[in-house]
Structure 1
Amino acid sequence: MNQLFQSVRLGEYTLQNRVVMAPMTRSRAQLDGTPGPLAAEYYGQRADLGLIVTEGTQPSDDGQGYLTTPGIYTDAHVEGWRKVTTAVHAKGARIFIQLMHAGRVSHPDNTPHHRQGVAPSAVAPGTPMFTVKGMQDIPAPRALSTEEVRQTIQDFRHAARRAIDAGADGVEIHGANSYLIQQFFAPNANHRTDEYGGSLENRARFAIEVVKAIADEVGAGKTAIRLSPGSTMNGIDEGAEGPDLYRYLTTELDKLGLAYIHIMHLGNETLLEDLREIWKHSLILSRPGRLREDIGTDVTSGLADLEAYGQMVLANPDFLARLKTNAPMNAANSATFFGGGAAGYTDYPVLSEVAVA
């Protein structure tokens, strides 16, 4: 585990350790998408880690899926995020804002323009989601035209520039967890007949073009992507070609000199090992449900350069100190994951508070 506490080079930066805060939707932004008043405190509390990856942040009105998620495309968004990046930098961490377009995982009641969601094809995910009116079925999205696909790429580019304007060290493109980019990967969500559908190369095209546009805008060393090979969230099915699509995609992305690739690993060890062999740059690995005794093993084995943690970092603002001293961890409270105020957000106790209690 000691290797976790060593510095590491990531893109343009040297990080103070190899522990990453994974992106986690918290649904505490203001209605206009500006980060909420406690956001700077929340992220700053956890900034003794090497890298903070923020919650998914929409690049446009169309990109919003859930209630009160933040955006990064207006002046107000930039000013809100600047408070967050300042708080994180004050404690020595680096921060990448995750750019997340939800695609078909959206409901008109949740978005600022109240329009139908957009996606590669007009295929509903077949799942419900929480809205201002409670749980509702997600309606079928509208299929993007070829020109609208290209405009969406420009929306990502614009959002990346705004993230850097807000003081972020880079952006992580959300290509995982059933959202727009993964929808292009999956044959059951992508029925297109243009250059963005059909063959695995075509289904990977949108992701590659988004990455290239952002790297051109802000620099490859400030650009990263998160992937979740094999994820079946919200009705996604990548089919038999799924592993080969990720091998092809990783091969193409490796040529671009990105800061890192972030893999949410869901069990295909052979594919993970193949991607590690293909990818010549920094690799962040997240294993949902990883046991405490396994923390650090992927860095020690060389399978990853950094390890990302979500709920354990959420519940333990002093996660690194607890690792170093083998102190017990707070348990995350799932009832306060989404929405609300300080409870379950900025009020988890640190070791000094536990000792006094």
Structure 2
Amino acid sequence: MTSFNEPLKFKSGVTLRNRLMMSPMTTTQSFYNGSITHDEIDYYTQRATGLGAVITGAANVEDLGKGWHGELSIAHDTMLPGLSALAHGIQSQGAKAIVQIFHAGRMTHRAVLNGEQIVSASAVAALRDDAETPRAMSIDEIHATISAFGEATRRAIQAGFDGIELHGANTYLIQQFFSPHSNRRTDEYGGRTPQERFRFIDELLKAVFAAVDQYADRPFIVGYRFSPEEFEEPGIRLEDTLWLLSQLRESRLDYVHVSLNNYDRVSRDPQYQDKSIMTYVHEALQGKLPLVGVGGVRTRDDVKTVLQTAELVAVGQQLLYDPTWAVKLAKNADNTMVTAPFEEAVEVTPLSRPLYEFAASRYHSVINS
């Protein structure tokens, strides 16, 4: 079985010193215009110790792709100095720096976009209480957004990051084009089948790798995050995702990263309940592409379990409240790891005010629901 402290070399040529990654998490610590803050740089730098790589929270590639206040942006060249400081802060601890890039699509609000109407693949609102109805993107807008992902990749390279992760999960725009719920288009970017709805992703990958080929003067990581299932009807089912993985495993991607709240989660589909979702996903990749497993990892045993069906382990909330967790793991200091429930840990962990308020409100809403 793979050990967490073994290095891993991606097909791009980048080598991680171990199999531990920091999972991308929203922190709401950026300035109103998406530029980086000192708090944000300190936050990532502190948590990079002992990790193979840090994946930042989502950075929007276009102003219209902004999902929330306090979100990082990679949409303009003026952001380069701050992005460079962030990358160097992570790398100063020996970890590779990966910036996650995304477009929120319909998962935002006019208030966040300064009054602009939100956009998506089709004019279909998300299934949530505060959802607004988006405007369907024109063909020209789709092409511009695909180009924006390429430009964001260029900026990541020029800022000194070791790679980017395409955020094709959590119902944001990339997933919206693949989903039959949010994509009702009848043109070349829509259709009834996963094959037809894959076009946006396919062109996105081409734009990103074109930027890598043109601008990267060193090996550069490109990863892809995905959500395996949707609750919506119609929506993405595990069978659709396994088809998607059959395409991605033949691409130039360095890894795929499944988005799960629990690493042992079982599919909602009765046809896929004999094993965990992660096991089905790993088998679908046929060893052609490393899988990043995630979801509730807090202990050494969790790490070992994930590495039975994945090549890498992403750790989220545990690192939020236990910044040196990876060092403790390497030094066998498990007894010093934070074990308190996260709703208690948030009250005693030194966090910037925006991050504390965001995290605390999340736990309080769960407790009160």
TM-score (norm 2): 0.82
Residue 67 of structure 1: aligned partner: 69
2:334 to 310, 326, 350: 326
User: What is the RMSD of the two structures over their aligned residues, measured on CA atoms?
Assistant: 2.5
Q: Shift of residue 152 of structure 1?
A: 1.1
Q: Label 1:221 to 1:36 Cα distance change in 2 as closer, same or farther (>3 A).
A: closer
SS of structure 2 residue aligned to 1:116: coil
Alpha carbons 1:204, 1:245 under 8 Å: kept: no
Matched, 1:213 2:207: yes
Q: Does 2:92 match 1:90?
A: yes
Aligned-residue offset at 1:122: 0.8
Q: Distance in 2 between matches of 1:8 and 1:299?
A: 16
CA offset at residue 87 of structure 1?
1.0
Change (3 A) 1:308 1:195: same
* Partner SS for 2:283: helix
Task: Measure how far apart 1:290 and its partner are.
Answer: 4.0
Task: Assess if the C-alpha contact under 8 Å between 2:278 and 2:293 holds in 1.
Answer: no
Distance in structure 1 (CA, Å) of the matches to 2:47 and 2:234? 35
**1:256-301 deviations in Å (ceiling 9; x for gaps):** 22111111244334653343234212211112x3453532224542
Structure 1: where are the runs of 5+ without partners? 129-136, 346-357
Query: 1:121 Cα shift?
Result: 0.8
Tell me the SS of whatever aligns to 2:4. helix
Tell me what 1:202 maps to: 196
Q: 2:78 aligns with which of 76, 79, 86?
A: 76
Aligned to 1:18: 19
Instruction: Give the CA deviation at 1:147.
Output: 2.4
Deviations 1:106-129 (A, max 9, x none): 111112x4311110111111424x
Deviations 1:78-127 (A, max 9, x none): 1111111111111110011001211001111112x431111011111142
The change in CA–CA distance for 1:206 and 1:88 in structure 2 (over 3 A counts) is same
Q: Write the distance in 2 (CA, Å) between the matches of 1:337 and 1:191.
A: 45
Report the Cα distance in structure 2 between the residues aligned to 1:243 and 1:69, rounded to whole angstroms: 30
Could you say if the C-alpha distance between residues 299 and 124 of structure 1 is closer, same or farther in structure 2, counting changes exceeding 3 Å? Answer: closer
| Mapped contact 2:178–2:194 kept (Cα < 8 A) | yes
Q: Which of 50, 58, 61 pairs up with 2:60? A: 58
Structure-to-structure mapping, 1:224-303, within 5 angstroms? 224-232=223-231, 236-237=232-233, 239=235, 242-265=237-260, 266-268=265-267, 269=275, 272-279=278-285, 280-287=288-295, 289-290=296-297, 292=299, 294-298=301-305, 300-301=307-308, 303=309
Counterpart contact for 1:118–1:144, Cα < 8 Å:
yes
Shift of 1:70: 0.8
Q: Is 1:5 equivalent to 2:5 in the alignment? A: yes
Unaligned runs of 5+ residues in structure 2 are 214-218, 268-274, 359-369
TM-score (norm 1): 0.85
Identity across aligned pairs (percent)?
33
* Distance change >3 Å, CA 306–CA 65, structure 1 → 2: same
- Change beyond 3 A, Cα 1:291–1:313: closer
How many angstroms apart in 2 are the aligned matches of 1:164 and 1:20?
A: 20
Taking structure 1 as reference, are residues 341 and 124 closer, same or farther at Cα in structure 2, changes over 3 Å only? closer
Report the secondary structure of 2:161's partner residue.
coil
